A and B are shown apart, each in its own frame.
Chain A
């Protein structure tokens, strides 16, 4: 069997459950890379729920070439939903995001993520993990581009303030 994800989607849509198994092997690392930083301690739940939604709706995916973009949007949506559902008392939440390449971001990403809301974590993941620009991130999250831009770029000083407090 081909390991090409497009071929696997087509075979899975045609009813081959072994192809579904191989497709799952492909999609677990990709989905987890998006869900874990957004859902944090519920990362495994979010990854599972995102993939449940993916496999339930796989028959509706008309363009298998669009697989990863399609999975990405489901993964972000499910991760934010699960993170909100499971949100515990959040320590002094950052309202702004660190800039790309910020040394403090590189030093302790978990600490930074733990201070952000799920929606802010989603923007950070789309920018820094998925390499999306502001317009694409805004489209995917269903918010105006200006909102993403302001969340991303107003940020540095208040991030540093919260970080060093």
Chain B
């Protein structure tokens, strides 16, 4: 190959749009929040702390294993159900699944200022890359409102 061919990387929000497109039922909730990326991601990536106050259905998360950007965690929903989550946590990117749950969060600095945040997730259709299409968008909007409140 000759010369320096143009190349691009996909920021985390674009990556979330791509994965959600491959998962029937996965709605993406996106918003630009007026706060720097570092502050937004500090809240979202605090899985054992702030995360449970932002995601409406999560009561408590305990990280049980970390290997590079891979992690395992135990989550307890506010209804008392437990889930063993498996996934990836990187700057601007969190993708977790259990047998019955999917949680996707992404954040990227917005060129005009602020941070673009995207959520997806919900209850999985067992054995498939698909979500039960009930309340997915509403849960995303609630989580976004909670995040915006905590940034104020």
Q: Do A and B come from one complex?
A: yes
Contact status A109-B23, CB under 8 Å: no
Q: Mark A37-74, 1 if CB is under 8 A from B, else 0.
A: 10010011001100110011010000000000000000
Q: How far is the CB of B133 from chain A (nearest CB, A)?
A: 16
Contact status A56-B22, CB under 8 Å: yes
Interface residues of B in 2-35 (CB under 8 A from A): 2-11, 14-15, 17-19, 21-23
How many positions in chain A have a CB within 8 Å of any CB in the partner chain?
39
Knowing A24-B19, A56-B22, the reply to whether A109 touches B95 (Cβ < 8 A) is no
Q: Which of A10-18, A84-92, A151-159 forms contacts with chain B? A: A10-18
Is B110 engaged at the interface, CB distance under 8 Å to the other chain? no
Q: How far is the CB of B125 from chain A (nearest CB, A)?
A: 8
Is B44 engaged at the interface, CB distance under 8 Å to the other chain? no
Q: Mark A1-45, 1 if CB is under 8 A from B, else 0.
A: 000000000001011111011001000110011011100100110
Contact status A44-B22, CB under 8 Å: no
Q: Mark B76-101, 1 if CB is under 8 A from A, else 0.
A: 00000000001110000001010000
B residues in contact with A18, CB < 8 Å: 86-88, 95, 97
Knowing A17-B19, A18-B88, A20-B22, the reply to whether A110 touches B10 (Cβ < 8 A) is no
The distance in angstroms between the C-alpha atoms of A100 and B15, with both chains bound, is 34
B residues in contact with A52, CB < 8 Å: 17-18, 21-22
Chain A contact surface mostly: helix
**Size bracket of the B interface:** 20 to 34
B residues in contact with A100, CB < 8 Å: 2
> Across the two chains, which residue of chain B brings its CB closest to A28?
B10
Q: How far is the CB of A43 from chain B (nearest CB, A)?
A: 4
Contact status A105-B95, CB under 8 Å: no
> Across the two chains, which residue of chain A brings its CB closest to B18?
A51
Contact status B14-A17, CB under 8 Å: no
Contact status B3-A47, CB under 8 Å: no
Knowing A43-B6, A109-B5, the reply to whether A48 touches B17 (Cβ < 8 A) is yes
Knowing A15-B128, A17-B102, the reply to whether A36 touches B5 (Cβ < 8 A) is yes
Knowing A15-B127, A15-B128, A48-B14, the reply to whether A129 touches B19 (Cβ < 8 A) is no
Q: How far is the CB of A47 from chain B (nearest CB, A)?
A: 6
Which residues does A use to contact B, with CB under 8 Å? Answer: 12, 14-18, 20-21, 24, 28-29, 32-33, 35-37, 40, 43-44, 47-48, 51-52, 55-56, 58, 100-102, 105-110, 113, 125, 128-129
